[in-house]
Structure 1
């Protein structure tokens, strides 16, 4: 510990720990065990707040939350994309509005082809705004398809057992927590395996690849990295145009 203290002094570093235990101890062990150190520079330490979260989340170390309170100029972020609900569109009204807008455009010339293109895109967007409902494009973490009420109930039971042991570190409470934590781990593993097996059995040669990858992302609990997060038409107008007027059609034998 003296060597570590000297090293921190030499490197101008500070320890953020406040003495709270960071490891779940066994009965009759030191309940103040704190083997996990949070270290930062001396210039950053006054801006940091450090605390231990009340749950180990089935580990033997408590989660640690370090927050930095520093006023900065907020970065300019694009407004979230309001995606169109194409399944609720009034396509007849959209087509009529688009035809009226296009007829009012001037004939394009070779010198102003980009201007003509921008005007046409504006017609598409104006008609879409009038006759296609929108939904928020805010990103969200997709739920795992195998999770159910039994999983939630088991996790709550594990949390309550851990809380009871933290409040009264007896052998009985420790064994109870260990048993419930093992049951919870086994249940979640079985649910995930059964969900993946069910998904694989539901696949067929006609299953869309977009559905396959969407489900895989849900099993991984990851966000869709291809989600558009800007209202800038240049970032999604091409995809929208391809949606309403595909540049190609699938082979006949691929049609349902």
Structure 2
């Protein structure tokens, strides 16, 4: 049979290359006992260049490859490889920086017209994984020093910044990014100063929340006790079991001894009431709940649960079917959430006119953002004038409550009755114990 055409692949310039491709030989196996000799460092520094036509309507790949090849050869013949890119430009691999400078200064390529030449944005940095069992006994400092000349320039910038600013990386090795190739990467870094390291806690949240980056939660321990910031609970009296409350009041009153001291007796009654209430009246939760934004609804809640279920299914079984199901659920949830936000905002803006109350408008904006409404007293008119500072306003309220509760605010009959009761001898209850009497 006659020989078929050469398989050129995506490189249509392969036939123009004069160099004969040789089969790659298998490297000789080296044992761990024998330390291999270090390779001789080559002086050549290959560079990747991108040649693009200045005329966007006429890409350079639409011109004859023979004319382009002759134009490139007129500038330099030390070209290792030529290939075409998807955007219609050419990718050149030249021998060293000196030859790259010749192409970078070129503005007109013979046979192709006006062109623009630039270094490739990513291919000129070293990337890859080093597998070398013979360096496993070396320290990290020796390995870093030995590979310093081959380091990634972008990684060098990050390393210099971390070392120069005396910062510490908080990441614990957990992946922080879910890439489009269904793999997990570690591209997000969290830094802190050395003084905060013992007080800082780093945690990666397992839910993506519709993004491709995992949320990161950083906590800084505070000297204040957490109980000081708990929400105050209250009794739900509308759900109380009053028969049960009465039963516990009677049973608990027999357990605590009666005292002739007014303060002890008052504390005893308060303890009985509180204990009976804890048994018979439900209490509110001490956990503070952030109110949901106005655009949130039951449909979004159900879609969010479906998205989270699909995500956990993919984490348990990483298959293409589970991945597509998660992406589909996530896309539906994001589309519905965006539509709900737009509808809520349109309804909000339609109610605003020239006579709208500004205070109400800003309160609605806070509710749209999912923030709690907070309206502190910023101005108080008093006999002393207008008060603007919070301390003066609090003092004015304290004086007002003090004057209202003073004896001068009550009738003379009430004041005289109060004085007679306070001046009379206190009579304890009739069922005093023998020790108290």
Is the TM-score greater than 0.5?
yes
Q: Which residue of 1 aligns with 2:173?
A: 19
Q: Which residue of 2 aligns with 1:104?
A: none
Q: Which residue of 2 aligns with 1:108?
A: none
Residue aligned with 1:151, SS: helix
- Give 1:163 deviation, angstroms: 2.2
The 5 Å alignment of 1:209-228 reads 209-224=358-373, 226-227=375-376
Cα deviation per residue 1:198-223 (whole Å; 9 max; x = unaligned)? Answer: 34445677765443332222112234
CA shift in 2, pair 1:27/1:219, >3 Å: same
**Which structure is higher in RCO with an 8 Å CA cutoff and minimum separation 6?**
1
- Give 1:224 deviation, angstroms: 3.7
- Give 1:25 deviation, angstroms: 3.2
Structure 1: unaligned runs, 5 residues or longer: 81-138, 242-256
Q: Which has the higher helix share?
A: 1
Contact 2:367–2:373 (8 Å) recurs in 1: no
CA shift in 2, pair 1:162/1:204, >3 Å: same
CA shift in 2, pair 1:232/1:37, >3 Å: same
Equivalents in 2 of 1:236, 1:191: separation in Å? 46
Query: Larger Cα Rg: Structure 1 or Structure 2?
Result: 2
Q: Which residue of 2 aligns with 1:97?
A: none
- With normalisation by structure 2, the TM-score equals 0.34
CA shift in 2, pair 1:50/1:142, >3 Å: closer
Residue aligned with 1:44, SS: helix
Aligned residues: 176
Contact 2:294–2:370 (8 Å) recurs in 1: no
Q: Which residue of 2 aligns with 1:86?
A: none
Equivalents in 2 of 1:208, 1:3: separation in Å? 53
Q: Tell me which of 156, 163, 167 is aligned to 1:9.
A: 163
More off after superposition, 199-208 vs 56-65? 199-208
Cα deviation per residue 1:210-243 (whole Å; 9 max; x = unaligned)? Answer: 43332222112234453359996715969xx9xx
The 5 Å alignment of 1:201-216 reads 201=350, 208-216=357-365
Contact 2:170–2:189 (8 Å) recurs in 1: yes
2:214 aligned with 1:56: no
Contact 1:13–1:40 (8 Å) recurs in 2: yes
CA shift in 2, pair 1:210/1:11, >3 Å: closer
Cα deviation per residue 1:58-107 (whole Å; 9 max; x = unaligned)? Answer: 11100111122353589x99xx9xxxxxxxxxxxxxxxxxxxxxxxxxxx
C-alpha root-mean-square deviation of aligned residues, in Å? 3.8
2:393 aligned with 1:234: yes
Equivalents in 2 of 1:6, 1:144: separation in Å? 43
CA shift in 2, pair 1:193/1:8, >3 Å: closer
- With normalisation by structure 1, the TM-score equals 0.55
Contact 1:27–1:170 (8 Å) recurs in 2: no
Q: Which residue of 1 aligns with 2:193?
A: 41
Q: Which residue of 2 aligns with 1:68?
A: 220
Equivalents in 2 of 1:145, 1:163: separation in Å? 28
